Structure 1
């Protein structure tokens, strides 16, 4: 029986449907799992994505021919039944379910199984073949509960505010920044965002996600407020002249990579908060198991380790070579208000030079 998804130079191709999933080269028809730059790129003729992702996709890609489906809604193209199901990664993220010729395949894109106030929760989808990421596919990666993490983050901010230091938290502008905003205590002080973060916040609010009030630094006239502020910005802004406006600061980076000893030190941050928009090791295994799939295809991250582990569990497992996360720069759209200053769109590079976790949205 022929495979429903195969590798091509343009990306992951569905032969009977003649469309691609998250292609990295321009194609006529693309199904997009989410709006991070290593999965959603300009130049495709037609885009299909989950309805909640529309605002972010249009903000990032501009004028595109975009068709959307509600989660669980199906469309049939060349005999392939396509439906999109929540991936729990970021706003609008989706798993792509394909049904054709008696087979069901699911391409997960990026996903996480932990709760997140800013997006629909991950939905296990039964299938014969499951295409999974493995960005954090090593047993060392195990995330703390959000209530513990945000208590730690709010405590750091509160101590800095009492000492008259701005708390500068580097994070990816799409997904991570909004998740942080949803969990902080805004009574501690003002919340300031980099110009690259604002349009993404607007898209989240337009989609009905509740976020606290935020301002740009240019909208704050009282310097005393800056010294109590939590500042969310892309990692590149921490090394730019933009940061000088805040005076004395304490800096931190929010990323799953902060689980690695030495990652914070190499980045030059005062603190590291282990916060990821990807599944940890237990999350990956639970998601894979919940599908009931007998065949697993691993796309990016710790591919050999995950493949070997799954094979040892008696599953048919293999890897696909993709360009997801392979030194892709997650470039934020400039806000157009001068906030980004001479730095322009902020390139979001994680430890080791990779942009984000698995390329984006760490």
Structure 2
């Protein structure tokens, strides 16, 4: 990954600055997705690197509430704000808007003193026209003066194929395995990716088994009205023949675990944007890699940034140096924040807390 840039100089009137605890709004005296405990935190979404324990007060979308409470505890002080609604805190108008990443994911719009800043959180917008993530509200472009954007896949090599092509490949792989009497283990993170996989596959091919970590999140999606196919636990399947036709959706942490022994002869695959690179597939020792990400690719990042009309862009986690260089070539005022987002080990640890 590209070397992180030095801190960019901050203006006294900036609506968001970098502090050791996280991204801070001085005018409103609150943080956005802080990585250390703070009094007031606005949370863009419930992935573990953005939503952490220990804050005094949380603000997030209603759609995020179920997953946040499941992961952080029922006793958190959580206030919800519907997409597009506004609240004012110390003179700063705050609103949350769809990010297209996972259920309840939001961009944070801040308005104060005649200026508008938007913090993207993680987001997905397709580089192809007419595509949306079927499991959450689509990314909403927001006009602003300054856009704080992620850049997880901020390299030109990352260009996602059309979703229909990816799901056709997954279905063909599953169908081929079923005809050969082999189960199909399809791995993806339990929150967001697993539900997107479930919503996109052809459920008529065979039974669908889910790991306990996936099942727990599925409940929140179904409660929010997201259509998912019927799923079951492995113990519910009747006989080896049925098991050998199954699609097993599980987090990558199950790889090499005793949980998989019950499936006998199976083939495995991993669904991720990182599967764009053959080296990543080879190092992971996956039988197949499917390129499916919940983050914007290079064309998607460019599309999102241009749609904001922002003259200033601050890049967070990912390939910051490459993205900042490209932004400056476009004539924009660009720099980077150092953050603690994007560490997939944090999300894996959150998944491991849910028993199988």
TM-score (norm 2): 0.93
Structure 1: any 5+ residue segments left out of the alignment? 341-362
Alpha-carbon shift at residue 334 of structure 1 (Å)? 6.1
Distance in 2 between residues matched to 1:327 and 1:165, nearest whole Å: 30
Distance apart, 1:225 and its partner CA: 1.0
User: Partners in 1 of 2:275 and 2:352 — Cα distance?
Assistant: 27
Aligned to 1:188: 205
1:55 and 2:66 are equivalent in the alignment = yes
Secondary structure at the aligned position of 1:47 is classed as strand
The DSSP-based 3-state class of the residue aligned with 2:104 is coil
CA distance in 1, matches of 2:351, 2:274: 24
Q: Which residue pairs with 2:332 in the alignment?
A: 315
Q: Is the 8 A contact 1:199 1:335 kept in 2?
A: no
Please tell me whether the aligned partners of residues 129 and 294 of structure 1 are also in contact (alpha carbons under 8 angstroms): yes
- Per the alignment, residue 113 of structure 2 pairs with 101
Please tell me whether the aligned partners of residues 160 and 250 of structure 1 are also in contact (alpha carbons under 8 angstroms): yes
The whole-number CA distance in structure 1 between the counterparts of 2:95 and 2:19 is 22
- The aligned length equals 338
Residues 259-293 of structure 1, C-alpha deviations (whole Å, 9 max, x = no match): 01211111111000000000000000000000000
Give a deviation string over 1:109-162, Cα, whole Å, max 9, x none: 000113111000000000000000000000011111111110010000000000
Q: Which runs of 5+ in 2 are unaligned?
A: 1-11, 127-131
| Residue among 12, 37, 62 paired with 1:26 | 37
Q: Which residue of 1 aligns with 2:5?
A: none
Cα displacement string for residues 44-64 of structure 1 (whole angstroms, at most 9, x for unaligned residues): 000001121111111111121
In the aligned structure 2, how far is the partner of 1:236 from the partner of 1:38? 17
SS in 2 for 1:196: helix
CA contact (8 A) 2:103 2:135 kept: yes
CA RMSD of aligned residues (A): 1.2
- Report the CA distance between 1:326 and its aligned residue: 3.7
- 1:144-223 equivalences under 5 Å are 144-223=161-240
Helix, strand or coil for the counterpart of 1:186?
A: coil
Q: Distance in 2 between matches of 1:201 and 1:269?
A: 25
Question: What are the residue-to-residue correspondences of 1:50-129 with 2, within 5 Å?
Answer: 50-63=61-74, 64-114=76-126, 115-129=132-146
CA contact (8 A) 1:251 1:269 kept: yes
- Which string of whole-angstrom CA distances, capped at 9 and with x for unpartnered residues, describes residues 208-238 of structure 1? 0000010111222322111000001111202
Displacement of 1:179 in angstroms is 0.2
Question: 1:183 offset after TM fit, Å?
Answer: 0.4
- Cα distance, 1:335 vs structure 2: 8.0
* Residue of structure 1 equivalent to 2:8: none
TM-score (norm 1): 0.91
| Partners of 2:190 and 2:351 within 8 A in 1 | no
- Which residue is 2:249 aligned to? 232
* Structure 1 contact 90–277 (Cα < 8 Å) conserved: yes
* Aligned mates of 2:73, 2:199 — CA distance in 1: 26
The superposition leaves residues 238-269 of structure 1 with CA deviations (integer Å, 9 ceiling, x where unpaired) of 21111110010111000000001211111111
CA drift of 1:327 comes to 5.6
Distance in 1, Cα, partners of 2:239 & 2:345: 38
Instruction: State how 1:8-23 maps to structure 2 within 5 Å.
Output: 8-23=19-34
Could you tell me how far apart the structure 1 residues matched to 2:351 and 2:161 are? 31
Give the stretch that moved more between structures: 198-207 or 232-241.
232-241
- Kindly report which structure 2 residues correspond to 1:338-357, keeping only aligned pairs within 5 A, or say none: 340=356
Worse overlay, 61-70 or 175-184: 61-70
Determine if the alignment matches structure 1 residue 293 to structure 2 residue 310. Answer: yes
Q: Is the 8 A contact 2:188 2:271 kept in 1?
A: yes
Separation in 2, partners of 1:54, 1:280: 28
